[in-house]
């Protein structure tokens, strides 16, 4: 682990009712209360944001949204604005998650538009990139990652790049039980940092935190997080149980 402060975020996806979300948030707060050198974020459904924010108020846990629209308001049925996230207690927002790309038509261009809105609003964006199984098997991982990083961050200045958290989530390792080896993950993380250096300079790139987000579990977290360019995790299924999420958070402690 580098001298960058690790960040572990739980993406609850479309799981947990409002009551269940509040209960899980309180459980998580209890079991990670002693962790003071890792940023901990939970990202519940939109309906759970307000209650979860209230439940973790005064703790070491921050709250994030799972997506945000680029417009401040308007006729965008089913979308949510930066102001809505902020007033619900959010400090972070996930952008460009592979499931948004796969199922809901997200593109590098729309990620870029959402990113600009998040930065302007003062939210910390967690920008996701990653290749599919067919792309990995065809040897185009590096090209895909380069296109996604450069497309998502197009026109973003160095000062704003410094505020972004990146997340590498190989699509083939999300919800499949497969996990990139620590070496595979580190190779792509190092590439992402190189892409950031090309966009914003090496010193800025060296400060950006890059999470790994592909089936992280308590039993593989320590090895993954020990790699020099892996600065924590974006956790899916394992974040839905307080003890497993806490074990991953503690694995990121330096």
- Whether residue 233 is predicted with pLDDT greater than 60 in this model: the reply is yes
Question: pLDDT at position 124, please?
Answer: 98
Which structure tokens are listed for 197?
Answer: 């250096």
Question: pLDDT at position 1, please?
Answer: 45
H-type helices in 179-217, by residue range? 182-200, 202-207
125 DSSP β-pair partners = 93
**H or E segment and range at residue 108:** helix 108-121
Each residue of 83-136: pLDDT tens digit?
Answer: 999 999 999 999 999 999 999 999 999 999 999 999 999 999 999 999 988 999
> What does DSSP say about strands 165-168 and 232-235: parallel, antiparallel, or unpaired?
unpaired
In the chain, the domains with their CATH numbers are 64-209 (3.20.20.70)
User: Mind telling me the catalytic residues?
Assistant: 97, 169
Which structure tokens are listed for 117?
Answer: 């809105």
Which structure tokens are listed for 46?
Answer: 């939109």
Q: Which residue is listed with tokens 């620590």? A: 182
Each residue of 155-191: pLDDT tens digit?
Answer: 999 999 999 999 999 988 877 777 789 999 999 999 9
- Whether residue 214 is predicted with pLDDT greater than 90 in this model: the reply is no
Each residue of 42-86: pLDDT tens digit?
Answer: 999 999 999 999 999 999 999 999 999 999 999 999 999 999 999
Residue range 206-223: mean pLDDT, rounded: 94
């Amino acid at each position: 682990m580098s001298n960058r402060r690790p960040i572990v975020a739980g993406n609850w996806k479309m799981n947990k009712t409002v009551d269940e979300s509040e209960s899980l948030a309180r459980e998580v707060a209890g079991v990670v209360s002693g962790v003071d050198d890792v940023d901990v974020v939970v990202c519940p459904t939109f309906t759970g944001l307000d209650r979860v924010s209230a439940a973790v108020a005064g703790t070491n846990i921050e709250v994030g949204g799972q997506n945000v629209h680029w417009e401040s308001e308007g006729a965008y049925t089913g979308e949510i604005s930066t102001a809505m996230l902020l007033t619900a207690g959010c400090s972070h927002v996930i952008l460009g998650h592979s499931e948004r790309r796969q199922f809901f038509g997200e593109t590098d261009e729309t990620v870029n538009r959402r990113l600009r809105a998040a930065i302007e609003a003062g939210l910390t964006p967690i920008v996701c990139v990653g290749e599919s199984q067919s792309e990995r098997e065809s040897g185009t991982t590096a090209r895909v990652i380069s296109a996604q990083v450069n497309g998502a961050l197009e026109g973003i200045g160095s000062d704003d790049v410094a505020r972004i958290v990146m997340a590498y989530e190989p699509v083939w390792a999300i919800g499949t039980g497969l996990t990139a080896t620590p070496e595979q993950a580190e190779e792509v993380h190092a590439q992402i940092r190189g892409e950031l250096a090309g966009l914003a300079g090496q010193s800025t790139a060296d400060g950006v935190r890059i999470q790994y987000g592909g089936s992280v579990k308590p039993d593989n977290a320590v090895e993954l997080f020990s790699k020099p360019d892996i600065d924590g995790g974006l956790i899916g299924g394992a974040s839905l149980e307080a003890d497993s999420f806490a074990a991953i958070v503690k694995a990121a402690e330096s």
